Structure 1
Amino acid sequence: MPRSDHPTSPTRVLVVDDDALAAAGITALLGTADDLLVVGRCSDGDQVAHAIRSLTPDVILCDVRMPGMDGVAVVRSVPHGQPGAPRVLMMTAFDEDGQVLEAVAAGAVGFLLKDEDPRRIIDAVRHVAAGDAAFSPRAARQLTHWVQDSHSADARRDALEKLALLTDRELDFARALVTGASDAELAAQFFVAETTVKSALSAIKTKWGIRNRTQLAVIVARSGVA
């Protein structure tokens, strides 16, 4: 959850993008949501460490490709798991390569395509602020494409071994997650309570030693069974 002690305080967002027009557009979009507050913008990854200390964002919305310190390096620089550390949501163009996979491996909790429906961008920031990971169905399809293009026999074997650790129900949820479905959508699809979905996904992450559902989706996509 956002770090503020007041339950109605808005989620604090830091936008990181070297494209001034794109950054302004994202800032204006997030400004339409009463529960989100853009506290600053960085045009270079090198500015992020100082911005984290001075602006204390809850969520960093970060472009993948930037001159100098890129988005992957930004993710690696964030002290993941420490109290008060911001969560990083990546932004990428549809035709970029799988560099976003490096960001996910480094700790990014999700990613968005830059031309997503504006409502999905707002909802994704909310989900990330609430402790969830976020990637849309379109981003999920692109994720699968990147993973398939970059797969290796060893990576696929490792992914299949991880899937073998799951119960039948956990496997069902894991495979369905690759579509970009939310917990609520998974619950409706399998006719179970949303708490059942959350519990199963948490159990999978524990078994696999991973942090978020985007990393989970990468492993399933790499297995080739989704």
Structure 2
Amino acid sequence: MIRVLVADDQELVRAGLRMILEAQPDIEVVADVGDGRTAVREAMHLRPDVALLDIQMPGGDGIAAAREILANPRLATRVVMLTTFDLDEYLYAAMAAGASGFLLKSSPRAHLLHAIRTATSGDALLDPGLTRRLIETYVRRAPASSDATAALTGRERDVLIELIRGRSNAEIAGRLRLAETTVKTHVAAILRKLGLRDRLQAVIYGYEHGLVRPGDLT
């Protein structure tokens, strides 16, 4: 069972999210709260698998709450950010905080459920449109840094480049003629060797280190 904490300052939004989530046989909403400070306190107390946080809330916004939750070594909680506004600075802040997903409130419910399940699996939601566009803008602003992929094998580097381009494990397996289980093994090794948390960080890393240029996503 995936245990979810919902934080949004609008009661009707919280009620709607609770209804959507609790209709799933594998998801339980352990609490819904209206501000960031309460979200942090309840996360500490309940230790949910996923915190679904609105960005704009009184009493400490969702980004600040995400930073505090994700920085706490006692918690294994993943964070998915939820917002009404498609603004670059929100995604930058969410990525910097270590969020595993970023969704607009206008997203279909299937995307919400997928984001929560993806976060629980230890991965990050990589939206092929919004997230990729914002990542490209983000890395254009980021300072260049040295290539630290020397620890990777040639095949791991190949997998990393495909991963950076936003391809799924199944797609990578097909392009590189590998078994999907082998790709999963390579991805885990890449994250471990480069000290990365998830696929989203791997995408940012790849752009920062010049492995794939912005716009080179085909």
Instruction: Please state which band the TM-score falls in when normalised by the shorter chain.
Output: 0.7 to 0.9
Structure 1 counterpart SS, 2:197: coil
Q: Is the 8 A contact 2:83 2:104 kept in 1?
A: yes
Structure 1 counterpart SS, 2:147: helix
1:89-111 per-residue CA deviation (whole Å, 9 max, x = no partner) reads 22234621232222222222232
Match of 1:147 in 2: 135
Do residues 214 (structure 1) and 205 (structure 2) align?
no
The alignment yields a C-alpha RMSD, in angstroms, of 2.8
2:195 partner amino acid: G
Match of 1:58 in 2: 49
Structure 2 counterpart SS, 1:66: coil
2:183 partner amino acid: V
Do residues 82 (structure 1) and 70 (structure 2) align?
no
Q: Which runs of 5+ in 2 are unaligned?
A: none
2:35 partner amino acid: D
Alpha-carbon distance change, 98 to 176 in structure 1, aligned in 2, over 3 angstroms? farther
1:76-115 equivalence runs, <5 A: 76-80=67-71, 82=73, 84-93=75-84, 95-115=86-106
Query: What's the offset of the Cα at 1:27?
Result: 1.7
Match of 1:6 in 2: none
Structure 1 counterpart SS, 2:6: strand
Distance 2:94 2:200 in 1: 11
Query: What's the offset of the Cα at 1:68?
Result: 3.7
Distance 1:14 1:165 in 2: 38
Distance 1:181 1:32 in 2: 30
Query: What's the offset of the Cα at 1:70?
Result: 1.8
- Identity over aligned residues, as a percent? 36
1:51-84 per-residue CA deviation (whole Å, 9 max, x = no partner) reads 1133331111112333342222112111557355
Query: What's the offset of the Cα at 1:180?
Result: 4.3
Q: Which runs of 5+ in 1 are unaligned?
A: 1-9
Alpha-carbon distance change, 83 to 153 in structure 1, aligned in 2, over 3 angstroms? closer
Q: Is the 8 A contact 2:49 2:120 kept in 1?
A: yes
Alpha-carbon distance change, 129 to 152 in structure 1, aligned in 2, over 3 angstroms? closer
Match of 1:183 in 2: 169
Q: 2:9 aligns with which of 10, 15, 18?
A: 18
Q: Decide which moves more: 210-219 or 102-111.
A: 102-111
Do residues 172 (structure 1) and 188 (structure 2) align?
no
Q: Is the 8 A contact 2:122 2:198 kept in 1?
A: no
Distance 1:209 1:104 in 2: 16
Query: What's the offset of the Cα at 1:212?
Result: 1.4
Distance 2:72 2:45 in 1: 19
Q: Is the 8 A contact 2:139 2:207 kept in 1?
A: no
Q: Is the 8 A contact 1:72 1:100 kept in 2?
A: no
1:65 partner amino acid: Q
2:133 partner amino acid: H
Distance 2:6 2:201 in 1: 23
Match of 2:107 in 1: 116
Q: Decide which moves more: 11-20 or 115-124.
A: 115-124
Alpha-carbon distance change, 24 to 205 in structure 1, aligned in 2, over 3 angstroms? same
Do residues 29 (structure 1) and 29 (structure 2) align?
no
Q: Is the 8 A contact 2:48 2:77 kept in 1?
A: yes
Q: Decide which moves more: 200-209 or 176-185.
A: 176-185
Match of 1:4 in 2: none
Alpha-carbon distance change, 56 to 147 in structure 1, aligned in 2, over 3 angstroms? closer
